[in-house]
Amino acid sequence: MTGNRLLVVNADDFGLTDGVSRAIVRGHREGVVTSASILAVARSFDLAASLARDVPALGLGAHLAMVGEDPPLLSAREIPTLVDSTGSFPLSWRTVTRRLALGRVDPADIRREFVAQLDRIAGIGVPITHVDSHQHLHLWPSVGRVVVDLAAGQGIAVVRRPRSARLVGVGAGVALLSRALRRRIERAGLMATADYAGLDEAGRVDPATFARTLDALDRRGAATAEINVHPGEAGDPDLARFGWNYRWADELTTVTAPVTRQRVEGAGYRLGTFADLAAMAAR
């Protein structure tokens, strides 16, 4: 029996490749994916935009990027502190956070690039239900400030608040930054799900991992939660340029497996989108 708690299963990197874009839509049509975050800078953006218009029940959010293999929308002259001499973003969040910590990134550059990305996504003609960021960089205060401000200014009600179950190392840092981001989201009058999973599990959500993740969410008992996934097609040659070691095809198998939906319903969740989260808060 479907329960009263809301679970959003959100697929990141919509538009990364044609195969990823098709897999996300398949995960929605045949499985538990209810929402997707689209990369405005990605090579397959046009296909993802077309697919998004064809599946209006799939919630669509903005996956804002200032890191990764795909180039920014703006030129190096317009956002000099975000890019190298070739106009490319850094490939790793570690490089970006190091530069942020040293004060080498101008928040005005972040804002200009993110506005351009949001404008491109708005041009799809589908309502934007939420905002998050590639490699979760909006956890960093100066980036989160821009993201929350832009979401509030554009009437986007939900901003993802990533969390980690790890107690040491990166997990401890994520916990500290996540609490600060929650306060920022709340002060802006916006919202996030009460619980979240997917940062620790990124790229390796097989059926067993999904079941453990769902059990952990169930034990914590939050009324609203997000599980963040990364489905893709098996043998997609365009994924070879990403050195992430993600098991995209395993994640597609997981989100389309009948047992996955059964587990969601057995845990007392109903599947929905971030628009449903906003509607719950408006009641």
| Strand, helix or coil for residue 193 | coil
The CATH code of the domain that includes 17 is 3.20.20.370
Q: Identify the residue with better confidence: 151 or 204.
A: 151
Identify the weakest region by mean pLDDT among 106-115, 133-142, 154-163, 213-222: 213-222
Across the chain, how many H-helices and E-strands are there? Answer: 10, 8
What's the token pair of residue 102? 């040293």
Contact in structure between 131 and 159 (CB atoms under 8 Å): yes
Is the pLDDT at 2 greater than 60? The verdict is: no
Contact in structure between 266 and 2 (CB atoms under 8 Å): no
Domain count, the chain: 1
Mean of pLDDT values over 168-195: 90
Mean of pLDDT values over 39-46: 97
What's the token pair of residue 197? 């999973």
pLDDT bin (cut points 50, 70, 90) of residue 1 is: very low
Mean per-residue pLDDT over the chain, rounded: 94
pLDDT bin (cut points 50, 70, 90) of residue 282 is: confident
To the nearest whole percent, how much of the chain has pLDDT over 90? 84
pLDDT bin (cut points 50, 70, 90) of residue 170 is: confident
Domain that holds residue 199: 5-282
